[in-house]
Amino acid sequence: MNMSPHMPASEVLAVVQWLTARGATYQVYGGWAVDALVGRQTRAHGDLDVFVDATAMPDLLT
């Protein structure tokens, strides 16, 4: 059974746009951060690692 998850770039962009539209302070880290710095997707990713400012959490969870 193939259990490898896939996080497409389009979904990453959707999450980043959603956070930005809500004025959240966030930071992408991990594999997608490396790809953003290089300017292209270098490998398949199974998730998106994001730090979000704790003060934004109540609004984001709503």
The 10s digit of each residue's pLDDT in 11-52 is 999 999 999 999 999 999 999 999 999 999 999 999 999 999
Q: What is the pTM of this model?
A: 0.83
Q: Which amino acid is located at 22 in the chain?
A: R
CA distances from 58 to 18, 30, 35, 54 (A): 15, 25, 30, 8
Closest of 53, 25, 45, 22 to residue 36, by C-alpha: 45
Q: Which amino acid is located at 5 in the chain?
A: P
Residue 1: predicted pLDDT: 46
Residue 4: predicted pLDDT: 59
